[in-house]
Amino acid sequence: MRPEVPAAASRTSRASFGERLAAARSGKGSLCVGIDPHPALLAAWGLPDSPEGLERFSLAVLDAVGPVSVALKPQVALYERHGSRGFAVLETLLVRAAEAGVLTIADAKRGDIGSTMQAYAEAWLREGSPLAADAVTLNPYLGFESLRPALDLARSTGRGVFVLALTSNPEGRSVQHVGGDASVARSIALAAAGENADPDGAGRPGQLGHVGLVVGATVGDAAERLGLDLSRLNGPILAPGVGAQGAGTRELRAAFGGALPLVLPTSSRAILAAGPDGTRLRTAAERTRDELA
């Protein structure tokens, strides 16, 4: 039996994450742009590796590509390295994006158990939290059910989660591929699909659920080999690796096949390298989006 959602996390009147994502896709396409303020990229933009440089970089990306991207995905670690002032910049970015009607996916990859997972959930998904994003990435390798506080809170607040399932880094195979047809990755995908099929989740035909997966755009035929039927997820799939990591239309088709309509291709460095000029940034995002359409 699943625990009840606490009273403080009662269902919001906000449209569901799936509904808001569908609305954004209908007007902007499917490209998600990562905001990755690496020190080298800040330097290339002529910005200091400091909270001030971080803020100028982040808001410039929001202004330039927010209007043409389905969502922005700030990499939390690159804000965290600046300590409390870095988190303050991230809070500003999330608020400004919400004010502009731009969806945000906090790439935090959080995962733990019990009250600690509850705290992570409240930090990134609770209404009124200074770090509240439209969605957050989660790490399920303490067991999918350990994510329950975040799964339930996201559903109740109209937000979403993206659970790591099949990543493209070589080390991921040592965990995610274990089991062959009964692989760890397949069990995660099945559990996510189950959440979206729940009457308290998506529940309505054609509407994406609030639980998505992270599947690398460069995994090739790994999903097929491991028995993952991603087309049955009924939720969005975040697919990092477009551009600098080598993925394009061909790689996306090879990796996702019939699940391609669920995919949010994600590009970071290939687009951000066009900055700091805002017009060039937007042009790079539009070109990438159109090439993947």
Looking up tokens 């979403």 gives 160
In degrees, to the nearest 5, what angle opens at C-alpha 41 toward C-alphas 37 and 43?
115
CB-CB neighbours of 211 under 10 Å: 32
CA dihedral 7, 92, 139, 120 (to 10 degrees): -40
Choose the catalytic residue: 38, 96, 109, 232: 109
For residue 281 the two structure tokens come to 């940034």
Read off the amino acid at residue 169: N
Whether the Cβ atoms of residue 292 and residue 252 lie closer than 8 Å to each other: yes
CA 214 – CA 82 distance, rounded (Å): 26
Nearest one of 75, 90, 85 to 131, comparing CA atoms: 90
Task: Look up 109 and say whether it is catalytic.
Answer: yes
Q: Cis before residue 276, ω within 30 degrees of 0?
A: yes
Whether the Cβ atoms of residue 271 and residue 243 lie closer than 8 Å to each other: yes
Residues annotated as part of the active site: 109
